[in-house]
Amino acid sequence: MARIFAVTIIVIAIVSAIPILRHTWWMAPDISTHGAPIDEQMSETMAEAGISFLASQILLAIFIWKFSQSRPGERIRTFPGGAMTMVIGAFLLVGTEVLALGAFGAKAWASIYFTAPAANAMPVQVQAGQFAFYFRYPGPDGKFGPIHPEMISEATQNVFGLDLDHDPDSKDDVVTAEMAVPVNREIHLLMHSKDVGHSFFVPELRVHQDFVPGLDLSVHFTANKVGRYEIVCTQLCGLGHYNMKAYLSVLSQEDFGNWLKQQASMQ
Amino acid sequence: MHDMSAHVHVAHHAPPTTFIRKYVFSLDHKVIGKQYYGLALLAALVGMFLSWLMRLHLGWTNLAIPGLHLLSSNGAPGNVMTPEYYLQLMTMHATIMVFFVLTTAPFAAFGNYFLPIQVGAEDMPFPRFNMMSFWVTFVAFFVLVSSFFVSDGPTLGGWTQYAPLSAVGKVAGPGEGTGVILWATSIGLFCIGQLLGALNFITTTLDMRTKGMSLWRLPLSTWGWFITSIMGLTAFAVLLPACVLLILDHVAGTSFFVPSNLVINDQLQPHSGGSTLLWQHLFWFFGHPEVYIAIVPGMGMISHILVVNMRRPMLSHRTLIYSFGALAVLSYMVYGHHMFVSGMNPVSSIAFSFPTLIITIPSTILVLVWLGSLYGAKLRINTASLFALGFVSMFISGGVSGFFLAQPSIDIMLHATYFVVGHFHMVMGVAAMFGIFAGTYFWFPKMFGRMMNETLGRIHFWLTFVGTYCIFMPFHYLGLAGNVRRYQAFVVDYMQPLVPVHKFITVAALLTGASQLIFVYNLIHSRFWGKPAPENPWQATSLEWSTPSSPPPFDNFGGKLPVVYHDPYQYGVEGSTGDYVMQDSPEQIQTVRDEA
């Protein structure tokens, strides 16, 4: 029984590792300028976690195999070096490993979150609500008009609560249900939730940020590959959560200009 | 070190005479332990049944599940689950499992039964508190389940109940009104029950130890329960007021968790001035220690069971205890890793990342000590030891995925995906369940005076061990591919190719779930028709095997408290007649001592 158990553990460990090694299911290819350190960090961590996983499971299996057989008359033996070696080993090896991971990880995180967007980054506002994203572009004046929560109405399609009669900045704002950005241009995404918590996740873009009601946050990124991607909500927001999604089109500068003009004409 | 601890006779009470006092409102810690076990078993069956329904729906979204409309005509018109009903079942599955199974079974059930006996006490110091602890928890469970029977059903907000979804009332969705109030009432009551239990556990361990039972002579299982009770005292004390504030937001017009200017269904909400992140901070200050509340009792129990079956003490008794303690202390310093992308200050993410990574060190030490103790041991294979070894394997598998989730940069890709679901199911779900199973197979003879069926036990082990890997390993792959959790269907383009993996998981979950019925059958059958248990079936040394009968009499030791002469695990003793010496045996021996 013990031997079958040992073999089972080894088989499970190896079978579990195969899809990881083969990247059968893996992160979508990166289309951002900031994503490389994240991917590198993921690979480093996968290597270290994978080695720890395989080594520990195999050791467990070997010891079960070897020390479950009856050895009459033989006294128990103690692992050479005892527990102190293990404690020191854990502190030195694992301590160094996790501190290194932590330090490189913190650097990757800081490179994304501790840098301000460039002055010429293109502002886009995204508003999350049950169960849709809406986007707003500031128009030729470069300014967003203020949001008036009491005027927000899906019924009249004033999803941002804009007061076109009194706020001149709102007049040229372009509101869309899909997001488009020009390739290789930094985007400053201003995030607003109108009701409950939501999240903005585009796996290819390596961007994931919650919307916090009552607290407007922003992230910035540059997409470097033309294509059509999906924005999904990852913060449970109610019964339609699974269906809260929008498309993100990364377009050439020219296509983006045409798209924006077309959207403006439909306002 | 060998202080003869002061033993206070505060808990002495006469044997119960009436049926009600014996079996219902019992003051006996052993009966209360069994009551907790029964409640946890009922809750586990309900929770598992809910997971079957969820898994069927995730594999085959429009599948009509015969009879489902009987559970909820609104939630399953034509027997097909609605999106909101899926979320309601999911929330109830998680709440029931985390609170009423993973907290009650390893901690409250086994701890209640065995902690007083292992320290050599006749009962806990506050038996009435102990009785209240169970009955409050019992009421809490039925308050939670009652939400299935209110008009729009249970809350759909997940076991984390993030505000403001949970705090604005039914305008936010089905179950977000009465359902949330019932949820918060239930969990608030649960906290009171656990606080009363924790007080008893701590006091019993500190004040009720018998003569000769120094702290270092306590078995590892008692250390697990003791450290967990300290965590419980501080963690539940934070969740309780959070639940009260959440209820006030519903019924008293307060806005603790709701900010101004929210617009739901085109209606401006009347709340103002609250903070949604406040709920997350309060919840996770409880929520992360809760993970350790679920797993540390299991660590203690499987260590105890492994020692008995390895016929040797752990490589280092104290190193294990210090590691349990380190996990407990660190568990309060890491909760922010649940909030990396929440909008919390990104500097805090780094501050929370390092302690989370450092928790790897005591966890690694635990695994190394377990492995190192296997080296050179005389391992006995039985159902209890198989589950204990299975625990180690699951803890390794669930632990290594923690490397990823501890890092904010990687969390960008994995947050709220199935990777997280795989991680916590492995480490706090399956590993903790393996601890419960190991404890059950090991202590059943003591609790009921009969042996469990070993063949059925092994079949149960094999199906569960292989089955849980088949269910939860693929969760990690789904997460890497960006499969978001808490979705009732996968309509996002890039998730559709992942549906076959979900189908595989569903089949594995149904089979593994069904194999748990073997366990339930074994429990019931062995309770009445099992072979009578010998006095000390595993040749173990700790005090629960020194009681005059199985199950022990109402005062545990038949009116005469044992005196402890030895460290808890004297196996393979030089110069002794047998291969083990009981803790209360006056035989003079050369103590088997680890060197750390």
Is A75 inside any structural domain?
no
| Cross-chain CB nearest to B482 (options A70, A108, A203) | A203
Phi, psi at residue A111, to the nearest 5°? -65, -20
Question: What are the residue ranges spanned by the domains of chain B?
Answer: 30-260+267-581
Residues A181 and A212 in one domain: yes
Report how far Cα B453 is from the mean position of its chain's Cα atoms: 25
Largest CA distance in chain B: 82
Instruction: Give the pTM.
Output: 0.96
| Cross-chain CB nearest to A67 (options B360, B374, B492) | B374
**Residue-range definition of the domain harbouring residue A106:** 2-70+81-113
Write down the pLDDT at residue B575. Answer: 67
Residues A250 and A136 in one domain: yes
Which residues share a beta bridge with A200?
Answer: A209
Task: Show residues of chain B in contact with A99, CB under 8 Å.
Answer: 354, 357
Residues A172 and A255 in one domain: yes
Residues A175 and A93 in one domain: no
CA distance between the termini of chain B: 15
Indicate whether B11 pLDDT > 80: no
Q: Which of B407, B420, B458 to mutate to test the interface with A (most CBs of A within 10 A)?
A: B407
Q: b/e map of B59-91 (b: 16 or more CB within 10 Å)?
A: bebeeebeebbebbeebbeeebbbbbbbbbbbb
Q: Which of B:82-111 have CB within 8 Å of A?
A: 82-84, 87
Nearest to B334 by CA among B407, B400, B397: B407
Q: CA Rg, chain A, in Å?
A: 26
Looking at residue A210, the DSSP 8-state letter turns out to be E
Q: Which of B90, B275, B360, B364 to mutate to test the interface with A (most CBs of A within 10 A)?
A: B364
Write down the pLDDT at residue B594. Answer: 58
Task: Show residues of chain A in contact with B371, CB under 8 Å.
Answer: 56, 59-60, 63
Task: Show residues of chain A in contact with B488, CB under 8 Å.
Answer: 241-242
Write down the pLDDT at residue B559. Answer: 87
Write down the pLDDT at residue B595. Answer: 47
Residues in Cβ contact with B149 at an 8 Å cutoff, skipping those fewer than 6 apart: none
CATH at residue A243: 2.60.40.420
If one counts the domains in chain A, the total is 2
Is A36 inside any structural domain?
yes
Average confidence (pLDDT) over B32-54: 97
3-state secondary structure of B272: coil
Is A76 inside any structural domain?
no
Write down the pLDDT at residue A134. Answer: 98
Task: Show residues of chain A in contact with B361, CB under 8 Å.
Answer: 90-91, 94-95, 98
Write down the pLDDT at residue B8. Answer: 46
- Residue A94 CA to residue A89 CA, distance in Å, equals 8
Write down the pLDDT at residue A77. Answer: 79
Residues of chain A below pLDDT 50: none
Is A44 inside any structural domain?
yes
Minimal Cα–Cα distance from A264 to chain B, Å? Answer: 25
Q: Which of B:188-217 have CB within 8 Å of A?
A: none
Q: Which of A75, A115, A196, A217 to mutate to test the interface with B (most CBs of B within 10 A)?
A: A196
3-state secondary structure B24-74: HCCCCHHHHHHHHHHHHHHHHHHHHHHHHHHHHHHHCCCCECCCHHHHCCC
Residues A127 and A223 in one domain: yes
Residues A151 and A107 in one domain: no
Task: Show residues of chain B in contact with A98, CB under 8 Å.
Answer: 357-358, 360-361, 403, 406
Is A166 inside any structural domain?
yes
- pLDDT tens for B163-187 read 999 999 999 999 999 999 999 999 9
- Residue pair B487/B418 in contact (Cβ under 8 Å)? The answer is no
Q: pLDDT band for position B357 (50/70/90)?
A: very high
Residues A95 and A157 in one domain: no
| Cross-chain CB nearest to B410 (options A67, A105, A199) | A105
Indicate whether B456 pLDDT > 60: yes
Task: Show residues of chain A in contact with B306, CB under 8 Å.
Answer: none
Q: Could you tell me how many residues make up chain A?
A: 267
Whether residues A230 and B493 touch (CB distance < 8 A) is answered with: yes
| Cross-chain CB nearest to B492 (options A25, A207, A232) | A232
| Cross-chain CB nearest to A1 (options B87, B381, B406) | B381
* CA dihedral angle for residue B246, residue B252, residue B255, residue B258, rounded to 10 degrees: 60
- Residue B429 CA to residue B424 CA, distance in Å, equals 6
Q: What is the ipTM of this complex?
A: 0.96
Closest Cα in chain A to B323:
A87
Question: How many cross-chain Cβ pairs, A to B, lie less than 8 Å apart?
Answer: 324
Q: How far is CA A21 from CA A14, A25, B192, B572, in A?
A: 10, 10, 48, 44
Closest Cα in chain B to A150:
B268
Q: pLDDT band for position B5 (50/70/90)?
A: very low
B345 in reach of chain A (CB within 8 A) = no
Minimal Cα–Cα distance from A182 to chain B, Å? Answer: 22
Q: How far is CA B510 from CA B26, B28, B406, B496, B514, in A?
A: 37, 38, 32, 22, 6
CATH class of the region B30-260+267-581: mainly alpha
Domain boundary among A91, A113, A135: A113
Residues in Cβ contact with A103 at an 8 Å cutoff, skipping those fewer than 6 apart: none
Residues A104 and A157 in one domain: no
Looking at residue B120, the DSSP 8-state letter turns out to be T
Residues A170 and A252 in one domain: yes
Residues A151 and A87 in one domain: no
Residues A160 and A50 in one domain: no
Average pLDDT across chain B, whole number: 94
| Cross-chain CB nearest to A56 (options B176, B396, B501) | B396
CA angle B94, B100, B104 (to 5 degrees): 135
Q: Which of B:404-423 have CB within 8 Å of A?
A: 404, 406-413, 415-417
Residues A169 and A204 in one domain: yes
Phi, psi at residue B581, to the nearest 5°? -130, 125
By the 10 Å C-beta count (0-12 exposed, 13-18 middle, 19+ buried), B9 is classed as exposed
- pLDDT tens for B400-428 read 999 999 999 999 999 999 999 999 999 99
B570: left (phi over 0), alpha (psi -120 to 50) or beta: beta
Whether residues B596 and A42 touch (CB distance < 8 A) is answered with: no
Minimal Cα–Cα distance from B311 to chain A, Å? Answer: 8
